[in-house]
Amino acid sequence: MSQSDLFGPHANLPEPSRKAGLVRLSAFTSSMGRKYAATRNHDFGPADRSNVSALSAHVRHRLLTEAELVAAAIEAHGLEGAEKFVQEVCWRTYWKGWLEQRPSVWWDYKAGLAADLKILKLDGALRARYDAALAGETGIECFDAWARELVETGYLHNHARMWFASIWVYTLDLPWRLGADVFFRHLIDGDAASNTLGWRWVCGLHTRDKTYLARASNINKYSGGRFDMQGYDLASDALPLGDPDHPAPTPLPLQEVADRDAKTLLLIHDEDGCAEDGMFDGLNVVGLARYASFAARSNLPAGERAKAFSNAAVEDAASRASAHFSVDCQPLHAAQGLIHAAQHFGATQIVMARPQIGPLADQVDALRPQLVAAGLSLVKVKRDWDRAFHPHADRGFFKLKKAIPKVLAAEGILPRASSAA
């Protein structure tokens, strides 16, 4: 099956390559201003994504960077005109920065999911509701359509994700971690921070006294007239599932510095596909390895769309990096293959773009003792965008939102005169 079959007109999404992402970015830039602000909450269905960029999967894999999207929006509309679009890009940054400072929330999610999956095997009634939800056979027309769309396309509009999660928890009475796991396995743009913390927000676990209730009137209004929710008995209230008493933020890690003289294996992975943009220039790169970590998202099988997108995105990124550094690339089928790849190229240092808190980071951290034993050092380099924004993600989004102008000015995306508070 070709990329066009997987990510062409049926899904109405760009193919998993930087080239396709740039084409979509160029086409959508004119809509990143007030038009986006006015229409972004409308879900017109999988055949019409004209009101959103449809580039979230490209940003998640960093085939395009956040800085590129924001710079395009501001150049076309100014910061004020592109405010909503810029804020939506920064929400993903906020989630990543918040979780980076509270990794125990991710570990708690994994432990809780393991416990929920054990209960799922034993509780027949729970299993029946869960299976019906996955198959899109709950009898709730909109939910069933979204469940099928998720599997068939690997994508849902952001508003539909909120409706889906709310119905999953409050109407179908299903554990939220099982729903988060479904999203993480199937969404082509699924990342640990946005997915885990987004579900927690819906359930009132992120912001005190803040939950999200899917209402029939809201679905009718914003679903493009595709669903008539009259007669459906959705939950009438959404009580918080717990008290958001978060652990205190831990210090952000310092930037790791690679040895420029050491023979370096550069790891290209599914969280950063722009290795040729200057981030690693000056290193003595002798070889590349590429690795897609989609299988580590869950103990259950990954969705075919997510798996295909991740694989293709990493192949595209590795091809560009290989040409840029004029070196060969070895594909890895498991993280443990890093050691063999480094030895194959005669490298003594492995360098990678720093992965966010999540499955890939877990795998790499678990592998570190073996790397040390093999005489290999590992350097995880954090992008300037993350280093600039993450310190502002230690509390609620408002703190980061307020810092956007100054951070963009410091990063050279916004003229400093425009950043005055």
Position 416 scores a pLDDT of: 59
The amino acid sitting at 33 is: G
Which single residue is written with the structure tokens 């993350």?
386
Report whether pLDDT(299) > 60.
yes
pLDDT band at 209 (very low <50, low <70, confident <90, very high): confident
Percent of the chain with pLDDT over 70: 96
Report the pLDDT value the prediction gives residue 421, as an integer from 0 to 100: 45
- Mean pLDDT (the chain) is 94
3-class DSSP state for residue 219? helix
| pLDDT at 1 > cutoff 60 | no
Which domains can be identified in the chain, with CATH numbers? Answer: 3-100+388-419 (1.25.40), 106-222 (1.10.579.10), 263-382 (3.40.50.620)
5 pLDDT more than 60: no
Q: What is the CA radius of gyration of the chain?
A: 21
Give CA–CA dist 141/234, Å, rounded. 12
Interval 238-250 mean pLDDT: 93
Q: Indicate the burial class of 319 (C-beta count within 10 angstroms; 0-12, 13-18, 19 or more).
A: middle
User: Which pLDDT band, with edges at 50, 70 and 90, does 244 fall under?
Assistant: confident
* Own/partner long-range contacts of 417-421 (Cβ < 8 Å, ≥24 apart): 418/79
Mean pLDDT over 167-174 rounds to: 98
pLDDT tens profile 43-64: 999 999 999 999 999 999 999 9
SS3 state of residue 9: coil
Q: Which pLDDT value is given to residue 232?
A: 84
Chain centroid to CA 105: 17
pLDDT at 15 over 70: yes
Angstrom CA distances, 364 to 250, 337, 353, 370, 374, stand at: 20, 11, 12, 10, 15
How sure is the predictor about 228, in pLDDT bands with cuts at 50, 70 and 90? confident
Q: Are 104 and 112 in contact (CB under 8 A)?
A: no
Instruction: Assess whether pLDDT exceeds 60 at residue 74.
Output: yes
Q: What is the pLDDT of residue 9?
A: 44
Q: What is the pLDDT of residues 362-414, one digit of tens each?
A: 999 999 999 999 999 999 999 999 999 999 999 999 999 999 999 999 999 98
Give the lowest-confidence range in 67-76, 205-214, 283-292, 344-353: 205-214
How far, in Å, CA of 280 to CA of 325, rounded? 10
Amino acid 419: pLDDT? 53
pTM (predicted TM-score): 0.95
Q: Is the pLDDT of residue 4 over 80?
A: no
Q: Please, which contacts does 38-41 make with residues 24 or more away whose CB atoms are closer than 8 Å?
A: 40/84, 40/85, 40/88, 41/159, 41/222
For residue 120, name the pLDDT band (cuts at 50, 70, 90): very high
Residue identified by tokens 């609620």 is: 396
Query: According to the model, what pLDDT value does residue 225 have?
Result: 85
Greatest Cα pair distance in the chain: 69
